[in-house]
């Protein structure tokens, strides 16, 4: 059985657009994973330390037969393959992959929380999610992502429409 997953993808060092595109392609080639769609890519200020470059962020929609834990392991392996070094919380990174929603599952395990514990309050997650599915209902907040987005300040989100993460 497969699950529909929404995943955050982003980065702010190196060439984030190329890294994000290559990472989405890499995920699509993995057994049990099919990348279906990608949102618009957005440029936004960093969360946390401000002495780093702006981030590029997007959301990819994928279908997977992997369980949530196995998908997380794949994401961590992919981040590492693309040069991710975990040195500073909210610090600069070449690639960041996060499971935002795994179907309508609610998972609370050591090292894995689904839905992502901050998805409901971050415009750089909600705005690209709305590109793909504004009517998606957050399984614990019980509100659509469009409604949640309306409660945030997305004024610093700059769409970069000429970056396509997957081929149409």
- Give the active site residues: 84, 93, 96, 98
Q: Nearest CA to 90 among 135, 125, 141, 55?
A: 55
What is the b/e burial string over 2-13, where b = at least 16 CB atoms within 10 angstroms of the residue's CB? Answer: ebebbbbbbbbb
> How many Cα neighbours within 13 Å face the side chain of 152?
20
What is the b/e burial string over 75-108, where b = at least 16 CB atoms within 10 angstroms of the residue's CB? Answer: beebbeebebeeeeeeebbbbbbbbbbbeeeeee
């Amino acid at each position: 059985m497969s699950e529909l997953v929404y995943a955050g993808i982003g980065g702010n060092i190196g060439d984030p657009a190329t890294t994000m595109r290559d990472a989405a392609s890499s995920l699509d080639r993995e057994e049990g994973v099919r990348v279906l769609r990608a949102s618009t890519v957005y440029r936004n200020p960093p969360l946390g330390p401000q002495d780093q470059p702006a981030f590029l962020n997007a959301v990819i929609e994928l279908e997977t037969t992997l369980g949530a834990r196995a998908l997380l392991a794949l994401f961590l392996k992919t981040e590492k393959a693309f040069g991710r070094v975990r040195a500073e919380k909210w610090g600069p990174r070449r690639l960041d992959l996060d499971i935002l929603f795994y179907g309508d599952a609610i998972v609370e395990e050591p090292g894995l929380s689904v839905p992502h514990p901050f998805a409901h309050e971050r415009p750089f997650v909600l705005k690209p999610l709305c590109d793909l599915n504004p009517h998606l209902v957050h399984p614990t907040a019980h509100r659509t992502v469009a409604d949640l987005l309306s409660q945030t300040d997305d004024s610093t989100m700059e769409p970069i429409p000429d970056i396509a993460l997957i081929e149409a």
